[in-house]
Each structure stands twice: as C-alpha cells, then as structure tokens.
Amino acid sequence: MKKLVLFLLVLVIGTSCVEKIIKKPDDLIPREKMTQLLYDLAILNAAKGTNSAILEVHFDSPTYFLFEQYGVDSLQFVHSDIYYASQPLLYEAIYKEVAAKLEKEKNEIEEARKKVNDSLAARSRKLRDSISE
C-alpha cells in the first residue's frame, strides 16, 4: 500500500510539473470504474501486506485477476492512471472517493466486530451467572 501511494505521489508530482496536457486515451477507463478498481487494488494491496502467501495459493497473480474482473489490462490501467493524474483535481476527487469507501468499510467492520464482542460478553456473563447460582 505504501509503495502504491508513493508511486502515485511521484506520478502526480511528475505530471503536475509538465505543461503539456495528456491526451485522453482511446481506451480510457471510465471514472466510476477506475474508482472501484483503485478501491479493490487498495484492498488487494492490504491483503498482500497481511499474508501474500494465502493470495498466491488461490491466484497466480492477484492483480491481473482483478484486471480481468474489470475487463481491463495493465497497459490500459497505466494509460488511464496517467491521464487522470494529469488532471489533479479530478485525480484527487477519485482518491477521496476511494478513501471514503475504505473508511466506510472500516467503520462497518468495526461495528460488526463490536456487535460480536458484545454478544460474546453477554453470553459469557449469562453463563457465569448461571454457574454461580
């Protein structure tokens, strides 16, 4: 994840210094699809950071599997990423959407974990109370 963020930061800085506007590629990934793809790539990179061996057991190349799911190839992704990076406000908006989705998912997971922990604590108290009676 850190490598992806660093790469994108360098890409943004590098492209923001260029005066020439990048031509829109013919095979541009639409913004909504690009946002969802970047979200899934962030999840995938987090999973790789946690335990890449498990991913590699199920997928030869998780990134290329993801590209196949979206019907894009790596070159199309790179061209689209460069194009969006050449428009800093649009690029920032895309990444803010990705960050918001990640934050929402994190909050949902934390709420679910809290419910499970509360349920287990209640069951433990009930069991403890029935034993002490």
Structure tokens at 126: 């009930």
Domain ranges of the chain: 28-132
- Which band of pLDDT confidence, cut at 50, 70 and 90, is reported for residue 11? low
The residue to which tokens 């994190």 are assigned: 106
The pLDDT tens digits for 42-91 are 998 888 888 777 777 777 788 888 999 999 999 999 999 999 999 999 99
Q: DSSP letters of the chain?
A: -HHHHHHHHHHHHHHHT--SPPPPPTTPPPHHHHHHHHHHHHHHHHHHHHHHHHHHHH-S-HHHHHHHHHT--HHHHHHHHHHHHTSHHHHHHHHHHHHHHHHHHHHHHHHHHHHHHHHHHHHHHHHHHHHH-
pLDDT of residue 14: 62
pLDDT of residue 3: 66
> Greatest CA separation found in the chain?
79
Of the listed ranges 12-16, 49-53, 118-122, the least confidently predicted one is: 12-16
Residues near 23 by Cβ (< 8 Å), separated by ≥ 6? 83
pTM of the model as a whole: 0.70
Structure tokens at 58: 């199920």
Is 107's pLDDT higher than 90? yes
Mean pLDDT computed over 17-22: 63
